[in-house]
Amino acid sequence: MSDIRISGLTKRYARGAAPAVKDVSVTVEDGEFFVLLGPSGCGKTTLLRAIAGLETPDTGTVHLGDRDVTALPPRRRDLAMVFQGYAVFPHLTVAENIGFGLRMRKEPRADVDAAVRYAAGLVQLGDYLDRYPSALSGGQRQRVAVARAVAVRPSVLLMDEPLSNLDALLRLSFRSELKALAKELHTTIVYVTHDQVEALSLGDRVAVMRAGEIVQCGTPMEVYDRPVDRFVGGFLGTPPMNMLPGEVFGGRGVAGIRAENIEASTTERAGALAGRVRLVEPLGSQLLVTVAAGEQDVKILTPTDFPAGDGADVWLSVAPERIRWFDADTERALA
C-alpha cells in the first residue's frame, strides 16, 4: 500500500516566524492523484518537501504505507520527485537522463530502452533522445525531469509545478497524458500547483491551502460547487465566484454565485436584477460579460451570440439553489 498519512505536521523556518505549514493532518489514498492548491506562499511546497524528507517538520509525522518515514532521509523513502528547480544531468543525453534511475537499479538493457522510449513519448521528446540538455529549451529540460521520474514507475510521485515552463498547448496535452498515466500505473501522486484549472482537471481530490493550513479538501466538484468559505469560492473558477451583498437576491449574508449560473436576458423579467453591460470579453467558446448592477459589478458567461453589447440593458437571474451563502462576518459558508 502506498498511502501517505500526514499527522499534525507543523513547519516553521525560523523561531517566532509564522509557521509555513500549520498542524496539517491529511491522508492521501493509495493510487490517488492528490493536488495541493493555493496562492503563492501558502505552504504547498513546504508540505511536499516534508513528505519528500527535504524538510524536517517541527512536529508531526509522515507515514508512507505502514512505515513511519518522519526521520528517514529522502533516498530511503522510496519515492520519485519532480521539483521546480528540476535538475537534469548536463553530461548525459536525454535518453541517459530518463533511464538513469532504471540503470541504477540494474534493470536489463532492453527494459530500460523500452521504458525510456515510453516516458520520452509521453512528454513528446521521442525525437530528442540523443541530445544533451544544453541543446534543449527550459521547457524541454523540464520534460526530461518529468520523464525521468515517471520512467521508474514509482509507487509515490511528488510533483511541484512540473508544467510551469511549458506552453499552453503542451501543458494541456501533457496534463491529459499524466492523468491517464497515473491511473495506469496506480501511482500515488501529490501534485503542487497554484493553477486552479490544472488542480480541478488533474486531481481525484484537491486540498486548498491558505496560510499554512488546508482549508478544504474534496473532489474537484465539491470544492468548486461547495466552497467552505469565501476564500475557496474566490480562488477557484474563472472568473472567481461573484460575491453579492444579501439584499441583492434577498437573503442574509453574502451570495456567492458562479458566472455560469447566472442567466441574462435582454428583456425585463420579474424578480431579475437590472444592470447594464459594461464590458464584453470574448473567450472563444463563450463571452465573459461584466454587468454593472447598481454598485456592483457582476461577471457572467454567455454564449457567443449573446445579443447585448456595451451599454445594453440586461436582466440577471439565478436559480436559488445555485446560490452559495456566506456569513458576512466569518466568511464561512452558511449551508
Closer by beta carbon to ligand ATP, 20 or else 200: 20
Q: Is 246 in the site for ligand ATP (CB under 6 A)?
A: no
- DSSP output for 217-281: EE-HHHHHHS-SBHHHHHHSTTTTPEEEEHHHHT-SSEEEE-GGGEEEESS--TTPEEEEEEEEE
If one counts every other C-beta atom within 10 angstroms of the C-beta of residue 218, the result is 18
Out of 28, 42, 157, 277, which residue is the one contacting ligand ATP (CB under 6 A)? 42
The DSSP H or E segment spanning 318 is: strand 313-318
71, three cell numbers: 526521520
Closer by beta carbon to ligand ATP, 96 or else 161: 161
Nearest to 325 by CA among 271, 230, 255, 278: 255
Q: Is 38 in the site for ligand ATP (CB under 6 A)?
A: yes
Closer by beta carbon to ligand ATP, 40 or else 285: 40
Out of 16, 40, 184, 270, which residue is the one contacting ligand ATP (CB under 6 A)? 40
Closer by beta carbon to ligand ATP, 231 or else 306: 231
Q: Which 8-27 positions form the footprint of ligand ATP (CB under 6 A)?
A: 13, 20
Out of 43, 133, 203, 220, which residue is the one contacting ligand ATP (CB under 6 A)? 43
CB of 237 to ligand ATP, least distance (A): 19
Q: Is 41 in the site for ligand ATP (CB under 6 A)?
A: yes
**Alpha-carbon distances of 171 from 61, 167, 269, rounded to whole Å:** 34, 6, 43
Out of 28, 35, 46, 80, which residue is the one contacting ligand ATP (CB under 6 A)? 46
Out of 2, 45, 97, 187, which residue is the one contacting ligand ATP (CB under 6 A)? 45
CA distance linking residue 244 with residue 253, whole number of Å:
9
Part in contact with ligand ATP (CB under 6 A); list of ranges 42-50, 125-133, 265-273, 285-293:
42-50
CB of 20 to ligand ATP, least distance (A): 3
CA distance linking residue 253 with residue 236, whole number of Å:
20
Query: How open is the CA angle 326-330-201, to the nearest 5 degrees?
Result: 55
Q: Which 282-311 positions form the footprint of ligand ATP (CB under 6 A)?
A: none
Q: Which 157-216 positions form the footprint of ligand ATP (CB under 6 A)?
A: 194
CA distance linking residue 110 with residue 107, whole number of Å:
8
Residues 6+ positions from 131 with CB-CB distance below 8 Å: 93, 94
- List residues binding ligand ATP (CB under 6 A): 13, 20, 38, 40-46, 194
